Amino acid sequence: MITLDDMQTALLKARRDKAEVQAKMRKEAAELVETYRKSLTTDVDKSAALVSTGVLRGEHFTKCPVTLIEIDAERSLNFSLSTVLDSRPNAEFIVSVSISLREKDEFVSVRIEREDVPLLVLKEGTEGRFLEAVEAIKAAVLEKIERLV
């Protein structure tokens, strides 16, 4: 027979598991964003100013570091990665790309925009493990530039 203690124990375990997955996805997302920033220019300060993350709700973008974004019910970390391409007054041009990270088996999958097939990222500690995802993000930015200009 299942008791109240059993249910409370299950709740505590579920909360702990969710917190672990969230911490891992936040760490992975931060590494992906940092890899993207570094790939744009050797000037780290410039790339930090030109790249931001946040959440898009409807048409409203709210800047937020990935380390503060909550995972959803499917345990995916969803965020927008925005790149300022032109920062001149009255000519500002920003492109945002939606990204979703999710743990799949022992790997992390990265879905960029609404791609049918997510990219699987190599395990933590592997040199250049986010390079394929970064190039896919850049390709998505270029596609958006073609559509928007």
Mean pLDDT across the stretch 130-138? 95
Select, from the ranges 8-12, 103-107, 128-132, the one with the highest average predicted confidence (pLDDT): 8-12
Question: From the CB of residue 128, how many other CB atoms can be counted at a distance below 10 Å?
Answer: 9
Residue written as token pair 């879905």: 111
Domain boundaries, the chain: 4-148
Asked whether residue 55 carries a pLDDT value surpassing 90, the answer given is yes
Mean per-residue pLDDT for 7-34?
95
Half-sphere exposure of 18 (CA within 13 A, CB side): 12
Mean pLDDT of 62-69: 94
Q: Answer whether 77's CB lies under 8 Å from 29's CB.
A: yes
| pLDDT score of 128 | 85
Q: How far apart are CA 86 and CA 96, in angstroms?
A: 13
Residues 6+ apart with CB under 8 A from 17: none
At residue 65, the pLDDT reads 95
pLDDT at 42: 67
- The stretch 64-85 carries a mean pLDDT of 94
Number of Cβ within a 10 Å radius of residue 110? 23
Q: What is the pTM of this model?
A: 0.88
